[in-house]
């Protein structure tokens, strides 16, 4: 067998066992590289007589061409194989019916806050409220000044604010700025509700978190009274908690309402006995509320001699804690599935 033929046979066998592109390139180097088989054959040509040299030279060039083509072909094959495997692995069975649980759509997978959010949105939607979103980053005007909390007002101190370096923007400390944003957007009469996260530099304990949640509602119409406000709050309490929850209303100071109130509910963890959540008081603040201050209406471009309104802000986490008997607010952001899975039967 000529040297050329045996080289080709050897090469073909080696090529057939090349599984990866790297194998092919290594084989290429050992045949066509500087120290490769083909160069060795060509180097040996000089020892042959001119006739054999010409013939073998031609055969060697033919071999080089065949090797080059075979290598390219093998590379193509390997590429195609790779694509085929990828396609097979990636194939999506569009007829596959995923279980609700896999998708996280199973009722059992809902976070307590989400469950309350749906109830609250359902209730308010059925009462004709719009549902508004606010922004986490607010400015001084919307978070404070427009809500009748000017600079130097002591009410600012009660809300340990995370300020940005510009001294103008902050992480909103309450959902009340949505009242201002709503008034910028609507002409009276209107009613809307907004649910979202708020931030305060709090000392963290069983009932305080740095990031927590509030529900804000605002109604502006003609001749609005505290009676209207109480009707809404009672509906909300009976929808989200049991209706036999004992509540108490006491006067409270919030600069953006006049008169202002705080509505407390009997602690549902200890049923009034006293615990860490209610700080042994037996009562938990459910919401701040009141009739919208004329200055706030004016800031929203609304004539307070013609229109009046009420607003309330609810601690959404506390509401969830009371509804589900959760004794530590830190669980809300704990990202612990064992915690969420406990709410299967609710």
Q: How far is the CB of 152 from ligand DAH (least distance, A)?
A: 19
In terms of CB distance, is 260 or 282 closer to ligand DAH? 260
CA 332 to chain centre: 15
Q: How far is the CB of 290 from ligand DAH (least distance, A)?
A: 5
For ligand DAH, the binding residues (CB under 6 A) are 174, 176, 216, 254, 257, 288-290, 311-313
Instruction: Using the CB atoms, write b or e for 227-244: b if 16+ within 10 Å.
Output: ebbbebbeebbeebbeee
Residue 160 has φ and ψ, to the nearest 5°, of: -65, 100
In terms of CB distance, is 18 or 311 closer to ligand DAH? 311
Q: How far is the CB of 259 from ligand DAH (least distance, A)?
A: 10
Query: Could you identify the residue written with the tokens 């709050």?
Result: 233
- DSSP code, position 205: B
> Can you tell me the distance from the alpha carbon of 138 to that of 266, in angstroms, rounded to the nearest whole number?
33
In terms of CB distance, is 112 or 309 closer to ligand DAH? 309
Cα dihedral sign for 24, 29, 30, 31? Answer: positive
Residue 303 has φ and ψ, to the nearest 5°, of: -75, 110
In terms of CB distance, is 110 or 254 closer to ligand DAH? 254
In terms of CB distance, is 124 or 254 closer to ligand DAH? 254
Q: How far is the CB of 279 from ligand DAH (least distance, A)?
A: 17
Q: How far is the CB of 176 from ligand DAH (least distance, A)?
A: 4
Burial of residue 307 (number of CB atoms within 10 Å: 0-12, 13-18, 19+): buried
């Amino acid at each position: 067998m000529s040297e050329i033929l045996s080289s080709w046979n050897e090469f073909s066998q080696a090529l057939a066992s090349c599984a990866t592109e790297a194998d092919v390139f290594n084989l290429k180097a050992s045949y066509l590289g500087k120290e490769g088989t083909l160069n060795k054959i060509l180097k040996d040509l000089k020892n042959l007589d001119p006739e054999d040299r010409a013939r073998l030279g031609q055969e060697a060039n033919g071999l080089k061409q065949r090797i080059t083509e075979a290598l390219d072909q093998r590379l193509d094959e390997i590429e195609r194989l790779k694509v085929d495997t990828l396609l097979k692995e990636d194939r999506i069975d569009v007829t596959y019916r995923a279980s609700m649980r896999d998708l996280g759509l199973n009722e059992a997978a809902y976070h307590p806050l989400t469950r309350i959010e749906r109830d609250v949105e359902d209730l308010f939607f059925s009462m004709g409220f719009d549902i508004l979103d606010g922004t986490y980053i607010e400015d001084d005007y919307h978070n404070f000044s427009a809500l009748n909390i000017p600079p130097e007002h002591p009410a600012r101190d009660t809300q340990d604010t995370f300020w940005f370096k510009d001294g103008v923007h902050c992480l909103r400390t309450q959902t009340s700025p949505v009242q201002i944003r709503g008034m910028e957007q609507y002409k009276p009469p209107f009613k809307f509700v907004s649910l979202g996260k708020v931030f305060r530099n709090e000392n963290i304990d069983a009932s305080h978190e740095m990031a927590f949640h509030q529900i804000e509602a605002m109604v502006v119409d003609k001749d609005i009274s505290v009676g209207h406000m109480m009707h809404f709050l009672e509906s909300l309490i009976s929808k989200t908690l049991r209706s036999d929850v004992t509540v108490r209303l006491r006067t409270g100071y919030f600069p953006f309402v006049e008169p202002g109130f705080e509505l407390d509910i009997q602690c549902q963890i200890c049923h009034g006995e006293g615990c860490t959540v209610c700080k042994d008081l037996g009562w938990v603040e459910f919401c701040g509320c009141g009739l919208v201050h004329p200055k706030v209406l004016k800031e929203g471009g609304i004539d307070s001699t013609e229109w009046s309104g009420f607003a309330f802000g609810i601690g959404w986490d506390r509401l969830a804690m009371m509804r589900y008997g959760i004794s530590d607010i830190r669980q809300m952001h704990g990202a612990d599935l064992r915690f969420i899975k406990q709410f299967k039967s609710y």
